[in-house]
Chain A
């Protein structure tokens, strides 16, 4: 097969949103590499990834240009395309009140899979996805990872010639993510399937055979992942400070350095990308640190490419000083247990978070992270155990005690039809700020989060990145001692995630305690300490290096955080 499975020619698509015209795709042309294999589709939020997927599946009509799927015009021959293409939307709409088997049967009927072929196909899909034991279970009762696998199975029930996957791993824990990947690669190997995959995980893109990078509706680059990082050879280094505990200060200094394009924490060191190949000692002048050259990663290439393409540069970061430093530990948890009729979601959890540290809460889907998180915030009563946040149990303490914490949930949870300013004013007042103090804090929020221009825009109509900034600004107006962040970066692109973490560092430097949950394992590296939870219990606790060391074994003495996470969970399941 020498024909490209997907060809776009001058593709243009605009949407009307709140009276404004938003250009999703702006004259996009590319061709997927012929033959099977996985092509990665990456780019920041608003790059047009989902629009492109929907156009390819014949769900949208382009304003201009053409899109050909497996040799068919996706716009005019959409029914034929839909019969030959498998498309899994970001949120695959499983019928949750149907069983696994009934969902599969429905899609087999809709895709026209002949009854004679069904038995064998179901058996194969069940074997690949591991759904075999659960065919009689309602789809709504499956875990998040299982649902994604069932969605994939429904898409694959009739072997498609091209598989379109739109961010299939958002909100999925690393173990389930790895399993999904195994399925996709098996299909590529055994059936010669062509796959177009959009993702926010750069490690996933790195494993693709070809990568398409979009930005603001245009093609930035296309090529094998190696080609993205190749130009950076000699420009990537690991910088180690003399004092590991001051790594955030080191990171901030390096990031501000004009010769440095990018600086992120990695373990106890800071990983930097320089603007040009320079001798490491030149960079480290004035900084007491050792510099070690490392080979570039795909992520470095991605960031460098987008920053070259004119993405916004570094920001002046807001410094927040915690008003009242809590003496002792900011959060103490002892024997914390939560039972939901008969089922124990959190089982005798004990840990402590020191004041002023960034503390990560990690775990697979359903491990009890969110339940723990909600109990700490006082949103859920504990069944047993003791918990202290800023010295009190928020569930029973006076309402004013809640004024010492800030909270940002994984969903956007501000008032969508109020303006940015009205949202901020409301939260300022509910936290008891008045008069001049409200004005002062609002001015701070507008400046620190660059929201001034959008002050009168409706919060719900903001782009994802700005909504997230607004949510964070609202959580910080009253200068809390402790900040709770529940999967704050889920579905957010790598650049926005960097910006977000820049702000978190600034807060931690100001003495604010931060408790954060995340599915991104590289973000776990940014934490001072972290816990990994499984089945409601504590699996590991410590600094990132300590946790990784716990997972080390003969073959891999220095596992990455993701490898460590998976190994710890597998080890527990084996036990």
Chain B
């Protein structure tokens, strides 16, 4: 009896795998979750989420036209960052800012030419709309840069010596053009796969409970390990497929460089997917109803992966308590790995500890799922 049960194990697992596979093929929703959802989200996010400002509407108030003022305004026109508009009074520019037609404006005063000769100390005023603090700060920095460049050129032409005691020379590694897609797209892959992994599995056990199929399954001599593997392997295959599709899109559609090696990417994705699927399995084992499982999967995945993974907001800048919370989410580790793999390369100092954390989370979720799944139906 026992030996028979043991030798039948392979066939039972194969039977379960084939069943799951047929169900996936017949029910387009799993395929949609694995392939259509990542593509749609990646397109939406990839194009919709960008922090690179271009053609920012900036007002230039020229109180008294003159050669200097015209040259200054022209310098703004050359920059791709700005879409300058000329105003003749501050009042007009202010009204435009209030009406959100402008993000900021620079006041070129009536005595601009005079001041340039260094005789008036009063500074030139820049006003930015600070509601979106990040955009406001970036705009201020861009205006400062445009101003410095123009001033240096102007003073050099007049042979006026300038004293800038210290010159700072910035070098931005990994992403010299500071293209935000380069870091957003790898992060989006993580948000995507968290959602896909959890949604794929969160519903599977709950669905079997609700349809009564699990009770019929439980009275066959199938073992729990076979049931779990029978669920995990097909959805893992789907998830990896979705991941591969997303990576291809990242490389060829969004032109993000991949500087690390492919096998590390595959290995880390495997670990992450196991963690995400494991969380989904656990949710569906505990919840037993598709509705509760779905609700929980969405709450536990999307917003944390979006806001707490370091994909958009820097974890270092969060308060300690919130930082501590981020350690609970697998997304955090995978974001660190992916941003490094895509933009920096195989940096083992980043990859190994994060991969270890992913492995631990995967082991935790899968182990707990195994413990909580009983062949009893109480």
Contact = CB atoms under 8 A, between A and B. Distances in A.
Q: Does B bind A?
A: yes
Given A110-B16, A112-B12, A57 B22 contact: no
Interface string A93-111: 1111110001001111111
Contact of A97 (B8, B14, B27, B216): B27
A98 to B, nearest CB: 6
Contacts of A106: 15-16, 18-19
B220 A111 contact: yes
Interface stretch (A80-88, A306-314, A532-540): A80-88
The size class of the interface chain B forms with chain A is 20 to 34
Interface residues of A, number: 36
Interface stretch (B139-147, B267-275, B370-378): B370-378
Contacts of A79: 5, 221, 223
A112 B15 CA distance: 10
Interface in A24-72: 54, 57-61
Contact of B5 (A54, A93, A102, A112): A112
Given A78-B375, A91-B212, A93-B208, A58 B12 contact: no
B213 interface: yes
Contact of B213 (A87, A95, A109): A95
A154 interface: yes
Contacts of A98: 19, 22-23, 26
A89 interface: yes
B212 A83 contact: no
B23 A85 contact: no
B376 A59 contact: yes
Interface in B7-47: 8, 11-12, 14-16, 18-19, 22-23, 26-27
A446 interface: no
A88 B220 CA distance: 11
A93 B216 contact: yes
The residue among B19, B22, B213, B219 with the most chain A CB atoms within 10 A of its own CB is B219
Contacts of B8: 112
Contacts of B12: 109-110, 112
A94 B213 contact: yes
Contact of A59 (B16, B208, B212, B215): B215
A102 to B, nearest CB: 6
A102 B27 CA distance: 15
Contacts of B222: 110
Contact of B219 (A58, A61, A138): A58
B203 to A, nearest CB: 14
A201 interface: no
Contacts of B18: 105-106, 109
B357 to A, nearest CB: 36
B377 A59 contact: yes
Interface string A456-491: 000000000000000000000000000000000000
Nearest to B13: A109
Given A79-B221, A89-B215, A112 B22 contact: no
Nearest to A151: B216
Contacts of B5: 79-80, 83, 112
A110 B15 contact: yes
B376 A112 contact: no
A82 B22 CA distance: 25
Main secondary structure of the interface of B (DSSP, over half): helix
B14 A109 contact: yes
A61 B212 CA distance: 20
A105 B216 contact: no
B65 to A, nearest CB: 73
Contacts of A88: 216
A93 B211 contact: yes
Nearest to A84: B1
B214 interface: yes
B217 interface: yes
Interface in B128-176: none
B32 to A, nearest CB: 15
A163 to B, nearest CB: 11
Contacts of A58: 219, 375
B218 interface: yes
B299 interface: no
Contact of A60 (B212, B220, B377): B377
B122 interface: no
A233 B222 CA distance: 51
Contacts of B124: none
A134 interface: no
A412 interface: no
B221 A112 contact: yes
A444 interface: no
A157 to B, nearest CB: 10
25 contacts: A15-B378, A59-B219, A60-B378, A79-B221, A79-B223, A80-B2, A80-B5, A80-B221, A83-B1, A83-B4, A87-B219, A89-B215, A93-B217, A95-B23, A96-B211, A102-B22, A106-B15, A107-B220, A109-B18, A110-B15, A110-B217, A110-B220, A111-B220, A111-B221, A112-B11
Interface of B: 1-2, 4-5, 8, 11-12, 14-16, 18-19, 22-23, 26-27, 208, 211-223, 375-378
